[in-house]
Structure 1
Amino acid sequence: MITTAPELIYMLKVNIGIALFYAFYKLFCCRDTFFQWRRIALLSFLALSFLYPLMDMQAWVKEQPAINELADYYALMMLTETNTSTATVVTAPVAIPTPDLLDIIKFVYWIGILLLSARFMIQLSSIFRLVLKSKSINVDQISIRSLSEPANPFSFWQWIFIYLPGLKEDEKQEILTHEQTHVRQWHSIDVIISEIVNIICWMNPFAWLLKTEIRLNLEYLADHKVMESGTNKKAYQYHLLGLANQNRQNGLYNNFNLSHLKNRIKMMNKKRTRTTGHIKYALFAPLTATLLLVSNIETVARTAERLIYSTEESTPRPEREEVASFVNTTVQGLVTFTITVTNSEGKPQPNITLQIKPGNEVKTFKTNAEGKATIEVDMTTPKYVSLDVSSPKSSKHQSLLLSANKPNVTAIFDTDDDIAAYIKAGKQIRIKLQISNNDNQQLAGVELISSSTNAKATTNAHGEAQLTVGVGETIAINHKGYQEGKFTVKELCPIKDMENPELVRLLLVGEDPVYQIADNMPEFPGGMIACLQYLARNIKYPVTAQKEGAQGKVIVQMVIEKDGSVDHVSIVRSITPELDAEAARVVKSMPKWKPATVKDKAVRCRYTVPVTFKLQ
């Protein structure tokens, strides 16, 4: 099964957020004169781009039928190619090698990170060297760093760097006002944040564009402050033009003569935007909500609370090694494959459709009356070729992997008529299951129950269990903390002999949602007063805490499970370790609660109680 790394999905969402927020900024914000609002918005855009993929509202999404259907549809479309094999695959599954292009992109990305990080550190070190080389003096009661060599004025953090010789008094005042604005408003924080984001997302052109907008808006803020000080607008603009002809520094610092001078002059001459223009900034809330919703729909689609299954053979192990070895073999010329298709009882399957896909080409064949087909494939370039097996008489299809080292392949393929015959005849099979969670950890204690015979089995420490069932039976799967799952044997399990059951791996994805608010919240037996009385009766005040005079209120959070039991106890507000431990102990000792319900169905719910410690 092809999987996508969570960190790759996260970074993709981050970069999409940056692109959309930049588009929003250019569409609504870049022409007004609300420079402080712009600054807040730009920094918020960066923060939200990194935070929204982490915000979890899956529980809410799953409670909305229309949105949940959309998530299911997305999952169906997204997982169509990665989870299509509901029939038995005869050849052992092989981990398809990652394309070389992806490795190259990763390599280039990390090289870019290293180079840009090195540049960032060099820029920082050059500023610190200037601090050491320059002299600290006071000009009009403002502390500056006097440069010994001609350079444009600039500031970084709390330092203002100016080359004083040759400056007129009015020019000096303009520069000081401008750079003091950068210093007092801590503009270097914006510069550093945008630089770090740019390093992380350097492959995204919108990250570079957003960084430019952040730097430009800081200049607007400083220019605006100069205008407010009473400086002659025209004289200031001519001063900027004069500085534009000098060599400018390239670095992290806020430079008096940055690029986009034309935009700065235009903004200085622009009329103030009406106050009602602030309303448009509220529009980015729906954009954020949409991003958050889409992100959670994607997450729900990937971790939907249902059984996501895949079938693969676990034995014999040597066959897996053989497959792994021949995938890396390059064979020149045509290879003739003989494909034999039978049902689970060994009867030939005629008129079965076989499709091979060497490269972008698709070739279709049919099995003859003996269930055989001969296929010639040019194996000069490909290391392996995929083969799809399907039939108009079956709603399922199966995928195999062909290699030149194994030209004779037998596929076991049951049509819907075969399955119906097995069910009618009461055919039974021995199934062997291994159940894991989303972290690839085998789950022990999972209960499997047959729908017709009520036969039961429980998974061992390796997450494995065996069960004898009929072909058409439904197996229910129950495990604490996970939603109930079920599957039909005919749809999932290989219909093989009783002695050698094939391993079927099931993946339980996603725990039951823990509600914050339910239709009916959890209730302690006897109500909240009885709960507080229980706490008061059962608390044992730690002796060390009494001696130290420690008292107060410990806030304890817990999850009330569907059966009313108390689980996942944690301390939300602490006093001392001793009091925290005692509060947790007494909460864990509580009897079962009446569980929360949503639509008259018991659900898990998070609940908080105060545990008060008071010395007499």
Structure 2
Amino acid sequence: MSPDMIYFMKVNVAILFFYAFYRLFFYNDTFFRLRRTTLMGLLLVAVVYPLPDFSGWMKEINTVTEAATVYSTMLPEVIVSAGKTTAAAPEGWLLQSAFLLYLAGVAVLGIRFAVQLGSILILSVQCKTARINGVYVHLLNHPAGPFSFFHLIFIHLPSHTEQEVDEILTHEMTHVRQWHSLDVILSELLCTLFWVNPFVWLLKREVRQNLEYLADQTVLLSGHDRKSYQFHLLGLANQKAAANLYNSFNVLPLKNRIRMMNKKRSHQIGRTKYLLFAPLAALLLMVNNLETVARVTTLPSDIQPTDSVMPEVVVVAYTPTDSQPAVPANDNQKKTVQKNEPKIMKDTPPREYNGEKVFTKVDQMPSFPGGDAALLQYIARSIKYPVESQRAGNQGRVIASFTVDKEGNIAQLELVRGIEPLLDAEALRVLSLMPKWTPGVHKGKVVNVRYTVPITFRLQ
């Protein structure tokens, strides 16, 4: 499974989990400001939590290592495609079709978002402006429901009494002052990117409704009559909207808004339950990094325990059919074979490079540009499973080791354990062409650091 797909699945599982968490703990209280912060936090954590890498720190904790050993029994392998040299499989076509369908959905929703945004901007140019009760508003030239977007407020004055206009302005100025449009845009973008997940749409609905609860609360606290305000909302329920991407005065469903306005205020002690969000986010980060720790914990014994080890990559190719023409190894592979011919490093790893010590554990480990996920993407794009090796049925694990020097260059690239010349050469070729890393730091100084990477070639 590719790193992008792993990330996509993790985000979608987190969204499902967070929606259930929100409904269970926060759905019925009246702490609308806390609910807004929590909803935005849930969405942001769902998107960001798969990215940070704390595995180096976690490996130092014995209880985490023990948990990783148990977790490894159910850990899926990180798999990358063997590239253009592999035979096509029905499952591959199915995945490609599903991916194209997903991209089509993202494109359609992206266009919809752009059209909605454009319609608001066009309205802001076309409509005349006026200052009412000290507030600048854009005057709609046809009957439509009032709404706001960032600092823009739109209203059709002939449709409302003076009291109703005052209620509308109080409501919409709450959206403006508290920057509610940022929440709207974030939830819309997440729905565009993860549209296949129904729970992201449900979270979007909760975000929009909670913003209306906040604005309604402000109207009532400013002294407006509760029943008069609710009848005003009911009177606007069937008005046609002038745009869709906005904070709306009369957004549906009104039933929930009226219920919240009439609901008894929650006890202040109930605020403490919002503290649950912090340990929940920390738990997700730990579980996400537990995967990397588990992969390292279960590596074969011929990898020295003091080495810094990257997540294992499994390169899968389908056994080619007789109709598939044999593709010889390219020049780069042949040259690499000649240079690194069956060479297995049996001695201890290099302890020095350019006369300076090579470390295996440092305070700040070197990092591939973009992190482990980007490294796996690089391998997925670059590696090729030689067809000659496929036809010969050659498969197994290649283990290579290299040093990330003080400038971030790849040096002292060696084969720890090989399979056969072509597969060994392909693994070494891809690793040798890696871009510069961010070098490691130990006790405030940039140092050389030794890394080990296992790459498994497998036929199906």
TM-score (norm 2): 0.68
Q: Which amino acid aligns with 2:92?
A: P
Structure having the larger proportion of residues in strand: 1
Structure 1 CA distance, aligned partners of 2:214 and 2:276? 23
Say which structure, 1 or 2, has more relative contact order (CA 8 Å, 6+ apart). Answer: 2
1:382-429: CA deviations, max 9, x gaps?
Answer: xxxxxxxxxxxxxxxxxxxxxxxxxxxxxxxxxxxxxxxxxxxxxxxx
Does the Cα contact within 8 Å between 1:147 and 1:162 map onto a contact in 2? yes
The residue aligned with 1:466 is 343
- Match status 1:46 vs 2:39: no
Q: What secondary structure sits across from 1:182 in the alignment? A: helix
CA distance in 1, matches of 2:129, 2:69: 65
How far apart in 2 are the matches of 1:102 and 1:311? 18
* Rounded Cα–Cα distance in structure 1 between residues aligned with 2:77 and 2:314: 15
CA 1:210–1:462 in structure 2 vs 1: closer, same or farther (change >3 Å)? farther
Check if 1:108 corresponds to 2:105: no
Residue equivalent to 1:222: 215
When residues 476 and 266 of structure 1 are mapped into structure 2, their CA distance, relative to the original with a 3 A threshold, is farther
Instruction: Identify the structure with the greater helix proportion.
Output: 2
**SS at structure 1 position matched to 2:153:** strand
Displacement of 1:245 in angstroms is 2.7
Identity over aligned pairs, percent: 44
Structure 1 150/289 Cα, relative in aligned 2: closer, same or farther at 3 Å? same
Q: Structure 2: which amino acid aligns with 1:567?
A: V
Shift of residue 209, structure 1, vs aligned partner: 0.6
Aligned residue number for residue 16 of structure 1: 13
What's 1:71 paired with?
68
- For the 8 Å contact 1:156–1:254, the answer to whether it is kept is yes
Counterpart secondary structure, 1:67: helix
Partner of 1:133: 126
Asked if the contact 1:304–1:509 (Cα under 8 Å) also holds between the matched residues in 2, the reply is no
1:184 to 152, 177, 202: 177
For 1:184 and 1:81, how far apart are their aligned partners in 2?
47
> Number of residue pairs matched?
353
Shift of 1:249: 4.7
Q: Matches of 1:290 and 1:510 in 2, distance apart?
A: 33
Root mean square deviation, CA, Å: 3.7
Query: Who wins on radius of gyration, i.e. which is larger?
Result: 1
Contact 1:303 1:510 in 2 (8 A): no
- Correspondence 1:348-367 to 2 at 5 A: none
Structure 1 residue 224, shift from structure 2 partner: 0.5
What residue identity is the alignment partner of 1:478?
Answer: P
Q: Flag the 1:462–1:221 CA change in 2: closer, same or farther, 3 A.
A: farther
Rounded Cα–Cα distance in structure 2 between residues aligned with 1:309 and 1:282: 37
Q: How does 1:433-512 map to 2 (within 5 A)?
A: 465-466=342-343, 475=346, 478=349, 480=358, 506-508=398-400
Match of 1:119 in 2: 112
Distance 1:238 1:568, change over 3 A: farther
Structure 2 unpaired stretches of 5+: 80-84, 304-310, 326-331, 351-357, 362-393, 405-438, 450-460
1:266 alignment counterpart: 259
Alignment check: 8 A CA contact 1:72 1:301 kept = yes
* Rounded Cα–Cα distance in structure 1 between residues aligned with 2:107 and 2:78: 36
Q: CA deviation at 1:100?
A: 2.0
Superposed, which structure 2 residues align to 1:332-371 within 5 Å? none
Counterpart secondary structure, 2:274: helix
| 1:206 partner SS | helix
Seen in structure 2, the aligned counterparts of structure 1 residues 247 and 41 have a Cα distance that, compared at 3 Å, is same
Relative to structure 2, which stretch is displaced further, 283-292 or 116-125?
Answer: 283-292
Per the alignment, do residues 183 and 305 of structure 1 end up closer, same or farther by CA in structure 2, a change over 3 Å counting?
Answer: same
Change (3 A) 1:190 1:566: closer
Question: What is aligned with 2:191?
Answer: 198
Give the aligned partner of residue 326 of structure 1: 322
Matches within 5 A, 1:274-353: 274-302=267-295, 306=299, 307=303, 324-326=320-322
Report the residue type matching 1:507 in the other structure: I
Alpha-carbon distance in structure 2 between the residues aligned to 1:43 and 1:222: 17
Aligned mate of 2:149, from 150, 156, 165:
156
Offset of residue 171 of structure 1 = 0.7
Question: SS of the counterpart of 2:158?
Answer: coil
Q: Distance in 2 between matches of 1:51 and 1:159?
A: 31
Distance in 1 (alpha carbons) for counterparts of 2:166 and 2:54:
53
Instruction: Identify which of 21, 31, 36 aligns with 1:34.
Output: 31
Give 2:203's aligned residue: 210
**1:294 partner letter:** V
Q: Say if 2:72 and 2:298, in contact at 8 Å, map to a contact too.
A: no
Q: Report deviation, 1:300.
A: 2.6
One-letter identity of the residue aligned with 2:224? T
Correspondence for 2:383: none
Kindly provide the amino acid, as one letter, of the partner of residue 280 in structure 1: K
Q: 1: distance between equivalents of 2:2 and 2:339?
A: 25
1:567 matched to which residue of 2?
447
The code of the aligned residue for 1:213 comes to E
What CA deviation, in whole Å up to 9, does each residue of 1:351-406 have, x standing for no partner? Answer: xxxxxxxxxxxxxxxxxxxxxxxxxxxxxxxxxxxxxxxxxxxxxxxxxxxxxxxx
- Equivalent residue of 1:567, what SS? strand
Letter matched to residue 559 of structure 1: V
SS of alignment partner, residue 466 of structure 1: coil
Say if 1:14 and 1:49, in contact at 8 Å, map to a contact too: yes
Distance 1:150 1:128 in 2: 18
